[in-house]
Amino acid sequence: MVLCVNCGVELDEGLKICPLCGMHPSDETKQEHISDTYPSEIIQLQKKENRKYYWELSGILAFSGIAVCTIIDLLISKELKWSLLSDVSIAAAWVILTVYQFKYKNTTIMFSYLMLTILAALFLIDLIATGRAWYFQVGLPVTISLFVAAGITIFLYRTLHLNGLNVIAAGLMVLSLFLIVLEIILDKYLSGTVNLRWSLITGVSILPVALILFFYFYRLKKGNRLDSFFHI
């Protein structure tokens, strides 16, 4: 059995270079001491480097797309029109991908950055697009409501130790509340009055499904199977 002197990984006979750390297995300078670098640390380093490479590649693709849309718009229209919308959308998507890649371990910071990015993109789109202004009446409250709903779901998952079908049930109940808020926002924007209709129907339809999932989960948690419970 041949072991790498740097990271301790078992190597196949005949290998000239360790596939994990890239060191030569017979390097005399490395045999004089034991490295403090463990395989897990090397793997984490490789993952970090891979995220950096993916981020650089995504940046190249994003800015290439922005450049292509802008040039085509200038060639056809002789001015910037529709390309502004696509440029803002592509840039926002790249920022969202960047935030996820580097801040995914900190949920609070990641959600804050994501919400600010989406709000900024919607604000710019509202400024660019002609017609009825909708950002402050619709875009801002809907986006904040959506992230609040997602935050409540994550909070319930972490504090109540939801780890099964009850996660889906809690998410469905939060979703029904979000739909009610969404209809209130849209009604005020479109007609100035609130008349709850489709959101209540959706909420009433979701509630039995959520209750069934809660029931099924806690019955399984107690060790009871539904087939035996209902004598099937």
Q: What is the pLDDT of residues 118-164, one digit of tens each?
A: 999 999 999 888 666 889 999 999 999 999 999 998 888 888 776 77
Q: Are 58 and 94 in contact (CB under 8 A)?
A: yes
Q: Which amino acid is at 3?
A: L
Question: What's the CA gap between 180 and 199, in Å, rounded?
Answer: 5
pLDDT of 70 strictly over 70: yes
Of the chain, the percentage scoring pLDDT greater than 90 comes to 36
The owner of tokens 């996660």 is 167
Two tokens, residue 155: 């909070």
Two tokens, residue 207: 């509630």
Least confidently predicted of 84-88, 104-108, 135-139, 160-164: 160-164
> What is each CA distance from 161 to 89, 126, 139, 217, in whole angstroms?
37, 40, 33, 13
The angle that helices 165-190 and 198-221 make with each other, rounded to 10 degrees, is: 170
pLDDT of 37 strictly over 60: no
Radius of gyration of the chain (CA): 27
Q: Are 50 and 27 in contact (CB under 8 A)?
A: no
H or E element in which residue 33 lies = none
Question: What's the CA gap between 176 and 168, in Å, rounded?
Answer: 12
Two tokens, residue 99: 């935030």
Does the predicted TM-score (pTM) go above 0.85? Answer: no
Separation of CA 111 from chain center? 9
* Position 44 confidence tier, pLDDT thresholds 50, 70, 90: low
49: left (phi over 0), alpha (psi -120 to 50) or beta: alpha
> When comparing pLDDT for 59 and 220, which is higher?
59
Average pLDDT of every residue of the chain: 81
> What is each CA distance from 168 to 5, 74, 171, 211, in whole angstroms?
49, 48, 5, 10
